[in-house]
Amino acid sequence: MNMMDPTAEQDQHPPTEEGGDESMVSPSILDRLKQKRQKVTEQRYLDLPVPGYEGDLVARYKTVPFKVFEEAEKRQKKDKSAPKMLLAAIDQIINTCEMILVKDPGHADCVTDNDGVITEYRPIDPQAAATSFPVRWDTRLAPLINIPETEHQNNPRLVVTRTFCNDAAVIHHATQIGLWLRDTTKEVDEAFLGE
């Protein structure tokens, strides 16, 4: 609508050089929104190196329903074994983990990235991954990276803390996951990860 002449109609779609409608030449806003929604809703992963392992140990993370975080928070309120902030970070790491990967370029079991390109990483235990029950942040990881049972006591939270070099690294790792979860369409690079 023209502000100077309220009765005048604005040209909704100016003609193109060929005399056609501009909406026929360039994608409409609705088409762009549909494409963006598809990207937002598709399952995507974050492959995040575990600090201290120089890229040889990587955890693959995925989105999970918010209910998972609510249930974890209830458990954290009852747990007095560590500061709540640390427990929340550990639980986020555990609950969003899809699988643990190791760097093994060229291995037959290397996984693909979000774009379908084969990476240099494979599941830490390819047989477990093949049965749809890949090793995550659980007690199956402990013997694979030489964490004695006396240190993890069959507790996944202790597997996490014994794998990371210190509590600050755990919190930083969980923060990176949290940043990614806010917008899983962002490309994850060194700038995103703050490195």
pLDDT confidence of residue 16: 45
pLDDT confidence of residue 67: 77
Share of the chain above pLDDT 70, in %: 71
Beta bridge partners of 66: none
What is the per-residue pLDDT across 106-122, written as a single tens digit (0 to 9) for each? 999 999 998 899 999 99
What is the per-residue pLDDT across 29-59, written as a single tens digit (0 to 9) for each? 777 766 666 665 557 899 999 999 999 999 9
Query: How long a stretch of residues is the chain?
Result: 195
pLDDT confidence of residue 148: 93
pLDDT confidence of residue 78: 72
Does the pLDDT of residue 138 top 90, yes or no? yes
Does the pLDDT of residue 142 top 70, yes or no? yes
Cβ count near 122 (within 10 Å) = 21
Q: What is the mean pLDDT of the chain?
A: 81
pTM of the model: 0.72
The DSSP annotation for the chain comes to --SS-TTSPP-SS-B-TTSSBHHHHS--HHHHHHHHHHHHHS---EEEEPTTSTTSEEEEE----HHHHHHHHHHHHH--SS-HHHHHHHHHHHHHEEEEEEE-TT-TTPPB-TTS-B-SEEESSHHHHHTT----SSTTHHHHTT--HHHHTT-HHHHHHHHSSSHHHHHHHHHHHHHHHH-TTS---HHHHT-
**CA atoms of 161 and 147, how far apart (whole Å):** 11
What is the per-residue pLDDT across 63-122, written as a single tens digit (0 to 9) for each? 877 676 677 676 767 776 767 889 989 999 999 999 999 999 999 999 999 889 999 999
Whether the Cβ atoms of residue 22 and residue 29 lie closer than 8 Å to each other: no
pLDDT confidence of residue 107: 95
| Domain extents in the chain | 46-193
| Mean pLDDT, residues 145-166 taken together | 93
| pLDDT band at 183; cut points 50, 70, 90 | confident
Does the pLDDT of residue 1 top 60, yes or no? no
